[in-house]
Structure 1
Amino acid sequence: VLFTQFLQSCLLCSIMFSSLKGVSLTAAKERGQLVFLEGLKSCLDLWFGEEEDQSGQPSPLQFISESASDLKALFDFVRLSLTPASSDSWKCPVLLVDDLSVLLSLGAAPVAVLDFIHYCRVVVCSQLKGNIVVLVHSNEDSEDEENELVVNSLCHHSDLILWVEGLATGFCKDVHGQIKITRRVSLELTGEQDVVQIYQYKIQDKNVTFFARGLSAAVL
């Protein structure tokens, strides 16, 4: 598993959630099953002049300190992380990018971001038969054309889209929002239409409850 993370707070949430589900990210990292890029630390190292790590390789976020928004160093980090150090190789790896919109905020061009995802798909999905999970932010009223370009392109090439949003009617104590799950069956060129399912959810202390629309605990 390769996990690219840009916010330390999100990492803590991920560890808590994974531990609850019987998966320890710390143990997985010790066993070599998890490669983690701490984006915040990498940014600080660049800003304070520490542009290379102990192995002599350039920082994966090298583009921040350069005029051109080239994400080749970030892709090389992904590719090298998936290169087996021994006879053992990665089987069905998962690349998690949280979140891709941050790359745009750091100055990367939309074309560079989409190229990065394209080459990651070639390595992770085509060659290693794995999967890529990407988080992006979008808003129907957004005027950020670059971000919307990336979002639309990702949706066009994705097999599964999870669209999470708040309720159109506003805040509700028992229902915090809804999630639309779109399975891109149309990509298989079988003539079938995409399968769309919509659920509502409630965020609890250490869990998230999903239910069909109109079937929350308060209604029942």
Structure 2
Amino acid sequence: MFIAGGIGITPILPMIEAAEQAGAEWTLLYGGRSAATMAFTQQLARFGADRVRLHPQDQHGLLDLSELLAAPQPDTAVYCCGPEALLKAVETHCASWAAGALHLERFAPADGATDGPTTSFDVEFAQSGVTLTIPANRSIVAVAEDAGVPVVYSCEEGTCGDCETLVLEGEPDHRDSVLTEQERRKGTCMMICVSRARTARLVLDA
């Protein structure tokens, strides 16, 4: 089940194409301020009105998420992208759905996601055999890159998930906008571009 708001349709489009190629059953609810401002509507028209529901706000009001998401549906994943207000509303309506059913795509960090104390801590990179001190004013990614530790990253805001790294020891202080609450509690991975440590030392699989 795809839900898009405004420009949030952009990352949803390739997901739809992938679902279509895989032969998966899917639907799209796409809202925007007006029909004239909603992009890619002609491209989406080929899939038919039974799968694509266009919902211009000036004609129909806000998206009716209570109807769409009222009851958890088995074997169904929800993918949503759009403004923060839409993402929060979808999160609220999906609170009773199975863990891992909801996937959010953000253009910016969630409100308050990166807040918290910034103290220094040590990180051991197990594969590289290097231990580095991460100062209060720098990220794990920045310090690791300066030291020649191979790291992969992109957004540096905790929204894309490219820098996800396995945590072997220690407790991460999650400040990303990607992981679910269940994944945060497990503490087995972290986004090293923004997240920090609750313990004096972390051991990462990098």
TM-score, reference length from structure 2: 0.41
Structure with the higher fraction of residues in helix conformation: 1
Higher relative contact order, chain-length normalized (CA < 8 Å, sep 6+): 2
TM-score, reference length from structure 1: 0.39
